[in-house]
Amino acid sequence: MSNAVESIAIPEEDLLRADLYDFLGALLARPPEGALLGKTAALGGDDTDLGQAIRALARLARATKTGAAEREFNALFIGMARGELLPYASFYLTGFLNEKPLAVLRKDMLALGIERAPNVFEPEDNIASLCEMMAGMIRGRLGEPADLSRQRDFFNKHIGPWAGHFFKDLEGAKNSVFYAPVGTVGRIFMDIEKEGFRMAGDDPA
Separation of alpha carbons 37 and 42, rounded Å: 9
At residue 61, what is the residue type? A
CA distances from 130 to 21, 109, 136 (A): 9, 10, 10
Separation of alpha carbons 131 and 28, rounded Å: 9
At residue 106, what is the residue type? R
Separation of alpha carbons 97 and 92, rounded Å: 9
CATH T-level assignment (fold) for domain 10-202 = TorD-like (1.10.3480)
pLDDT of residue 7: 54
Domain ranges of the chain: 10-202
Q: What is the DSSP letter of 142?
A: T
Separation of alpha carbons 24 and 163, rounded Å: 12
| pLDDT tens track for 56-98 | 999 999 999 999 999 999 999 998 779 999 999 999 999 999 9
The helix-helix angle for 148-158 and 100-112 (nearest 10°) equals 160
CA distances from 24 to 98, 185, 193 (A): 23, 9, 14
| pLDDT tens track for 176-185 | 999 999 999 9
| pLDDT tens track for 99-146 | 999 999 999 999 988 888 777 778 999 999 999 999 999 999 978 899
CA distances from 143 to 6, 130, 147 (A): 10, 17, 12
At residue 167, what is the residue type? F
